Amino acid sequence: MDLLSDILARLRLTGTLYFRTSFTSPWSVQVPAFENVSRFHFAHQGRCFVRISGEPNPVRLEQGDLLIITRGAAHTLYCDPKTEAEAMTLDRVVELSGFTGSGTLVYGELGTDHETQLVCGHFAFDKHASHPLIDALPSHIHIRNYGEAAGGWMENTLKVIGAEAGRDRPGSDLIALKLSEIIFAQALRACLTADDGGGSALSLTGLGDPQIARALSAIHDDPARPWTLALLAEIAGVSRTSFATKFSRTMSMTPLAYITHWRMQIARQALAETSAPIIEIAEAASYQSEAAFGRVFKKHFGAAPATYRREFAQAT
C-alpha cells in the first residue's frame, strides 16, 4: 500500500453525507462548529460564498469547486454578500424546509433561476487517530474545478455523487456515501502534487520531500523493524545529520519519535478492531514485554492497553 493510503487506512478515514441542497436566492445559512471532523462542500451546480470563522476573507465557491474545512470550524454559506448578515441557523433552515433527513434540502424563494446545489458532509477519523500530515493541514482546502484537478475519473465520480446524493432510488445514499470517502484522499493528493513552488503547508511535510518520503515508506512497509537513524539516512540518500534535521523540520518530530508514534497507531487500531492478545500486539509493535509496551501506550493515549480496548468496545 502506498504511503498516503496506509496513513488514511490506519487512521480509519470515514465519510458521512449530510444532504444535497437546492438553495434558491436569497439564502444564507449558519453552520455550527463540529469538533474533530473535516467538513466538506462540493458545488454540484451554481455558486456561493463561504465565510469561515476566524478567516479574514470569504471563499467563493464556483460550480465544480470543492471546499474542505479541515477542523470543523463554524461557517456561513450565502448566495450574495447582501444576504450574509441575514443568515439563519442550519437547524432553523432544516425546520422551515421540512427536511426529514432524506432527499434534498430545499430552501429559498420559489420560481427563481438562481439555484445552488451543494453536496455536503464531513470526514472523520477514529478517536485518538493522529498523524503529522493531518496536523499540518491548513484551516481549509479549496480546490477549484476539483474534478479536473484530481483527474477525469474523479470528475465523473463527483457527478455520480451529485446525482445520487439525496435521491430516493434504492441504494443511492450508500453509493454516494462510499464514493465520498475517496474525496479526502484525492484532495490531499491534489495538494501534495500541486505545482505551487513548494510553499503549501502540505508540500512542506515529509510526504512532499522525496528523501523523507523514501524513509517514511520504508518505515510503513516494515514498522516493527529495529530502525536506526543511520539506516533511515542511508535509505533517504543523505547524511545522518542532514536527514535528522530535515525529518524533524518537515514532520515536527524526530525520526525515532515518529517510529514510536506510528507503532502506537498500529497498536491502537489492533486493540480496537481485533481480539488478539496484548502480548502479540506488543511484539508486532517491536516490544518484547507487555509491560514496556503498556508504558509507552499509556503515555500516548492516557490509558493502559486493556483499558483502552475495553473503553473502545463500550463506546462502540
Instruction: Tell me what pLDDT residue 198 has.
Output: 45
Q: Which residues contact 177 (CB under 8 A, 6 or more apart)?
A: 15, 16, 17
DSSP state of 128: T
How many angstroms from the chain centroid is the CA of residue 259? 22
- Domains annotated for the chain, with CATH where assigned, are 3-192 (2.60.120.280), 209-315 (1.10.10.60)
Residue 138, SS3?
coil
Question: Can you name the residues that pair with 29 across neighbouring β-strands?
Answer: 77, 88
Instruction: Tell me what pLDDT residue 218 has.
Output: 96
pTM: 0.80
- Give mean pLDDT in consecutive 10-residue pieces for the chain, a chain of 316 residues: 84 78 92 88 92 94 91 93 92 89 80 82 84 86 76 64 59 61 77 57 73 95 95 97 94 95 96 95 94 96 95 86
Instruction: Tell me what pLDDT residue 191 has.
Output: 72
Measured CA to CA, the distance from residue 158 to residue 175 in angstroms comes to 11
Strands 48-52 and 14-24: unpaired
Instruction: Tell me what pLDDT residue 204 has.
Output: 57
Instruction: Tell me what pLDDT residue 167 has.
Output: 58
Instruction: Tell me what pLDDT residue 309 has.
Output: 95
